[in-house]
Amino acid sequence: AVWGLCAAGGGAAYALAACDDGTVRVFSLAGGRGSIEYARRINVGRPRLLSVAASGPDLFAGGSDSEITKWSLATGTCEAKMQLERHGAHTLVWALASLGERGLASGDSLGVVQIWDPVSCTVLCRFAAHQADVLSLAASPSGDLLLSGGIDAKISLFAWQAGAEGQWVSRSVDFRHTHDVRAVALDSLAAQAEGAPYVAGGVAGRLLMHRAHVAAVQEKSPWHDGLDLSSFSPLLQRASVAQGSRLLLCQRNEHLELWYLKQPPLPASRPPGAVAPPEGVLAMRIALGGAKDGQHICASALAPDGTLFAASDASGTRLFRIDVGEMEVRREGALAGDLAGTAVRALLFCSAGLLALATWQTHEVVVVGVPQLAALARFGEHKAPVALLAAAGEWLASGDAAGGVHVFNTDSLAHHARVPVGSERGFPTALAFGAQGGRLLVALSGHVVLLFDVEAMALLASVPPVFVPARVLPKHERICGAAALAGGQRWLLWTHDSLLSMELQPATGAAEAEAGAGPGAGGA
């Protein structure tokens, strides 16, 4: 079994795995993106290894024998040993983290976090920060911040205090978790240490997002208490409906399912206004070529008339034609240029002749002409990964993970507007156009719903932002999708296990949000 993983740099890129047979397996990443190849193993000893970290040309392995050993990655020879204190039974080194020039951090079964000098292999600082085992460590790329999580459900923050005699200091603690904290991850792209986001999770099955408070907290904010995240990402839910042909495309991990929504016979005596749900009939299962290699499908879309669908995995994006009568799927010609080998995060048919895609390796939104199988336009307005697409008429909207939402005109193939949603309310989790296409609904991770007037290029002044209360939508849930209902003012929103009906009317007060049908809907 593998108990610890880390990446190692230097002249070549490696991945290191600490194993319970007392070895460190070394894997080469030199083959480029998506490539990993077993290189060799380093025999550390008989005790089980629980953690590994790389610092420059060396690796450090921690195990179940109260020791941390230093090894040369190039030669595979042991260069030093660091002995931990023990009280009776051996001390377990559960976690190691490289702090670059600031040292090496260890977390052990005594609840102690220690900072070591990786050259002399001596202790620089010792913090008895936890009441029980320290199970996880996370460090900033600069090595100035260190987070530790443990069995006592506590997260401790340590910071490097610069000065004539620089030193490590304990800055803050967090008690939001109720059970063991098994994993902590710090945002490596944060511009500064103060307020850097980090995520922690454990045996309670909850992910909490926090901000690192190096200085004293002046004002309490939702980030200070931690943002409870859903256990399912709204960015990974995929289903497409072609209403004209009553077809439904469902995306699974390694295959697609095409369902026909058959209209059920209505009983003779039915209540006035009763609507019978359609009966789903599985028409076919479709697997992409990469399925045999274990590649998962990352995006899919069904054309409005149900004659075409597109799908993407790590090998690239493909377009297929559907013949339901003959139970047949035929691949169209290859996409032109680099599009054929481009994996995407999101796909959407803007019309029967236009396909929009959000690329995986860049932040571009590309509009592809279906007859030409070539890119008609590329938009580079986004500065973060794009995961949401919505279209109506001549409008195409896209949302990214950093909170950016943009609107494009597919007739003129030009950027039209940026939706001023900001990042303090969260990132977009759902986009949908109104029945007439002139209004765009944006649902944010902070449970705020906004309406944007596309023609006026401004938020709709007559309908203020709506906050969905916790009694209707729990904090850890996310709005995963939205659709406008007849009339233009009522919208249907859905989460992972509930439906919400929301009426957005021009008014001086807040709009009304009420629970709709759904097994997990909270009462209004």
- Is residue 201 within 8 Å of 182, Cβ to Cβ? yes
pLDDT of residue 510: 41
Q: Residue 514 falls within a domain, yes or no? A: no
pLDDT of residue 32: 74
- Is residue 282 within 8 Å of 259, Cβ to Cβ? yes
Q: Where are the alpha helices (DSSP H) in 208-268?
A: 222-225
How many residues belong to the chain?
524
Specify whether 17 is located in the same domain as 64: yes
* Closest listed residue to residue 149, CA positions, set 188, 103, 100, 94: 94
Q: Residue 19 falls within a domain, yes or no? A: yes
Specify whether 218 is located in the same domain as 252: no
Specify whether 202 is located in the same domain as 338: no
**Exposed/middle/buried for 77, CB within 10 Å: 0-12, 13-18, 19+?**
exposed
Q: What are phi and psi of 303, to 5 degrees?
A: -65, 150
For 203, the domain range is 2-228
Element (H, E) at 224: helix 222-225
Q: What angle do CA 416, 420, 423 make, to 5 degrees?
A: 130
- Is residue 186 within 8 Å of 146, Cβ to Cβ? no
Amino acid letter at 391? Answer: A
pLDDT of residue 41: 93
pLDDT of residue 103: 93
Element (H, E) at 163: none
CB count in 10 Å sphere of residue 385: 17
Amino acid letter at 368? Answer: V
Residue 480 sits in a domain whose CATH number is: 2.130.10.10
Specify whether 150 is located in the same domain as 246: no
3-state secondary structure of 496: coil
The β-bridge partners of 127 are 113
Which residue positions in the chain have pLDDT lower than 70?
Answer: 10-12, 33, 189-192, 216-237, 266-275, 294, 422-424, 476, 487-488, 507-524
Q: Residue 233 falls within a domain, yes or no? A: no
pLDDT digits (tens, 9 = 90+) for 225-246: 556 554 444 445 578 888 878 8
**Exposed/middle/buried for 79, CB within 10 Å: 0-12, 13-18, 19+?**
exposed
Quote the CA–CA distance of 524 and 514 in Å, as a whole number.
5
Structure tokens at 101: 């020039």
Specify whether 125 is located in the same domain as 252: no
Element (H, E) at 341: none
* Closest listed residue to residue 183, CA positions, set 446, 402, 5: 5
Q: Residue 109 falls within a domain, yes or no? A: yes
Specify whether 175 is located in the same domain as 201: yes
Specify whether 293 is located in the same domain as 400: yes
Q: How many domains does the chain have?
A: 2
pLDDT digits (tens, 9 = 90+) for 10-31: 555 889 999 999 999 999 988 7
Specify whether 416 is located in the same domain as 452: yes
DSSP 8-state class, residue 291:
G
pLDDT of residue 156: 93
pLDDT of residue 78: 93
